[in-house]
Structure 1
Amino acid sequence: MAASLDPHDRSSWYFGQMSRQDATDLLMSEREGGVFLVRDSTSIQGDYVLCVREDNKVSHYIINKIQRDGQTMFRIGDQQFPDLSSLLTFYKSHYLDTTPLVRPAPKRIEKVVAKYDFEGRDAEDLPFKKGEVLTVVTKDEEQWWTARNSLGQTGAIPVPYVQKYEESDSKPSMGVTSVGSVISKELTGKPKINLQRDLPAEARVNKARVPNAYDKTALKLEVGDIIKVTKMNINGQWEGELNGKHGHFPFTHVDFLQDLQDGDAR
């Protein structure tokens, strides 16, 4: 039975960060007009886009998030609404171009497999072990997604630590997820980590780590230690010098001194 439209069920129709082409491809795979989704605007931060299958095309309607008399409003065309749910309720019974909204597009289940251990650093992080399979819930940012493990626990995961997983394969796909130049959690106030930074650069250890006794190249970290970062590998295992020893360590265990100072300045 086809899903119906519940404007208040945000998880059913909000797809987060999604390209125009991906939205078009997904909606064109549906035969029924009025199938839709809401995604983040890729051109204006904070705005949204209502993507709808209409006849033999997909229409993309910009939703502007505006401030009016001290209140946040959402504008689409010449209509304004207090929230996205009200907007969808209106177009459930009013035509956009050739159709009203009928139902949200089905969300494809996407799974990833861990390439490395991730211990987590904050309460909102989801720790996992190498080889663990996770279900992607939302792609909140380019480098940090929300995922769910087999126990039903959800949290933030660093994208460079995982890769696409195909259940039909006996082994996980070796197609490595693309990684941009910045790993950040700006939405939670984290310092931005720029992978194009000039090195070497000093960083402060924020979490203690005792490496495996058999791993002779891993550095032992104590909170407050100052480490000289000499190389930032895209897999999240960075290299540096500490107490006269050169070795590797997880990027999640350090904060660059310059970033901490910039954060204090703000």
Structure 2
Amino acid sequence: MVYIFIIQVIMASSFNHEDRDCWYFGAIGRNEATDLLMAEREGGVFLVRDSQSSVGDYVLCVKEDSKVSHYIINKTQQQDQARYKIGDQFFKNIPELLSFYKVHYLDTTPLIRPASKKTEKVIAKFDFEGKEKDDLSFKRGDILTVLFKDEEQWWTAKNKDGKVGSIPVPYVQKIDESQSPIDAPKPTTNNTLTQAEAAKKNQMQRRLPAKARVKQVRVPNAYDDTALKLEVGDIITVTKMNINGQWEGELNGKTGYFPFTHVEFLDDENEN
């Protein structure tokens, strides 16, 4: 009877635990993961996400009965090798962990299949020429499919040819789910500049360092000590404008990074 049960579980859990794209959901929050899994009909549906409270760790989220359980996966080092710990179990990698829980219960269920991913598409507001090997270059008007929202300013996306890479978030805009790509809003073609285009124009004409006023609040991740906290009305000294949309500057005696979309240069550079 035990063997019959194990065979039934394996048959039910037919997902490919080596296929990271199907079960890894990136930096989504606890509430978003819960809502996504509660929309599933069956128990045993799961996803793996980044831990928000412990950078570098992961969370295995599983629908069990009428609730969603969140199991922390701690990444540890043992004799110079990474190990992934869940409960009192250690694994060489996450695929091995998922394979184990195909045939072993967590609380009330083994893992049956990954949660269904929502397809989110964005349209490029202007050209982006990647500088790093992992960057995904694109042209203005290209339609991209978002795979992971890895960071606040950088997402992983796929183009129409299936090529995958990192894209700067300020350079794209979301396409409404009710719209087809044909109906998607087209990048501005008249004399009105988009934020990104205006930034590029400023980058060519503005002499640095230059003063800018903060127009949007920004509270960075507590674990990111390179990011600046911004309050509306703050005056920041911009020292470098990077093509990835993360500018460098100085505010209240601290030097760090911030999204260019959160500031606007002072018309009078002598204004304070």
* Cα displacement string for residues 180-233 of structure 1 (whole angstroms, at most 9, x for unaligned residues): 5669xx9xxxxx675859644444x889xxxxxxxxxxxxxxxxxxxxxxx974
Q: 1:5: Cα distance to partner?
A: 1.9
Distance in 2 between residues matched to 1:103 and 1:15, nearest whole Å = 14
Q: 1:50: Cα distance to partner?
A: 0.4
Distance in 2 between residues matched to 1:145 and 1:26, nearest whole Å = 20
Query: Does 1:43 find its partner at 2:53?
Result: yes
Distance in 2 between residues matched to 1:49 and 1:25, nearest whole Å = 15
* Cα displacement string for residues 79-105 of structure 1 (whole angstroms, at most 9, x for unaligned residues): 111211221111111111110111111
Contact 2:13/2:111 (CA < 8 Å) preserved in 1? Answer: no
Contact 2:153/2:259 (CA < 8 Å) preserved in 1? Answer: no
Q: Check 1:119–1:198 CA distance in 2 against 1; reply closer, same or farther (3 A cut).
A: farther
Q: Check 1:150–1:167 CA distance in 2 against 1; reply closer, same or farther (3 A cut).
A: farther
Match of 2:69, as an amino acid? S
Q: Secondary structure at the match of 2:84?
A: strand
Aligned to 2:261: 234
Match of 2:166, as an amino acid? A
- Number of aligned residues: 207
User: Unpaired runs of 5+ in structure 1?
Assistant: 187-191, 208-230, 241-245, 247-266
Instruction: Give the TM-score taking structure 2 as reference length.
Output: 0.65
Aligned to 1:55: 65
Query: Does 1:92 find its partner at 2:102?
Result: yes
Distance in 1 between residues matched to 2:68 and 2:242, nearest whole Å = 47
Aligned to 1:215: none
Match of 2:173, as an amino acid? Q
Q: Check 1:167–1:79 CA distance in 2 against 1; reply closer, same or farther (3 A cut).
A: closer
Aligned to 1:28: 38
Q: After superposition, where does 1:98-109 map in structure 2 within 5 Å?
A: 98-109=108-119
Aligned to 1:14: 24
Q: 1:106: Cα distance to partner?
A: 1.5
Distance in 2 between residues matched to 1:94 and 1:103, nearest whole Å = 14
Contact 1:40/1:47 (CA < 8 Å) preserved in 2? Answer: yes
1:65 corresponds to which of 75, 88, 92: 75
Give the % identical residues: 54
Contact 2:15/2:114 (CA < 8 Å) preserved in 1? Answer: yes
Shifted more, 120-129 versus 4-13: the winner is 120-129
Aligned to 2:131: 121
Query: Does 1:81 find its partner at 2:91?
Result: yes
Q: 1:16: Cα distance to partner?
A: 1.2
Distance in 2 between residues matched to 1:124 and 1:22, nearest whole Å = 27
Q: Check 1:90–1:151 CA distance in 2 against 1; reply closer, same or farther (3 A cut).
A: closer
Aligned to 1:160: 170
Match of 2:58, as an amino acid? Y
Shifted more, 107-116 versus 42-51: the winner is 107-116
Q: Check 1:64–1:234 CA distance in 2 against 1; reply closer, same or farther (3 A cut).
A: same
User: Unpaired runs of 5+ in structure 2?
Assistant: 1-11, 188-194, 196-215, 244-257
2:160 corresponds to which of 139, 142, 150: 150
Distance in 2 between residues matched to 1:139 and 1:35, nearest whole Å = 21
Q: 1:31: Cα distance to partner?
A: 0.5
Q: 1:123: Cα distance to partner?
A: 3.0
Distance in 2 between residues matched to 1:232 and 1:68, nearest whole Å = 38
Distance in 2 between residues matched to 1:235 and 1:117, nearest whole Å = 21
Match of 1:234, as an amino acid? T
Distance in 2 between residues matched to 1:103 and 1:206, nearest whole Å = 41
Instruction: Give the TM-score taking structure 1 as reference length.
Output: 0.66
Match of 1:38, as an amino acid? V
* Cα displacement string for residues 99-153 of structure 1 (whole angstroms, at most 9, x for unaligned residues): 0111111111110112233233333222223332110122221210111122222
Q: Secondary structure at the match of 1:53?
A: strand
Distance in 1 between residues matched to 2:44 and 2:53, nearest whole Å = 24
Contact 2:13/2:102 (CA < 8 Å) preserved in 1? Answer: no
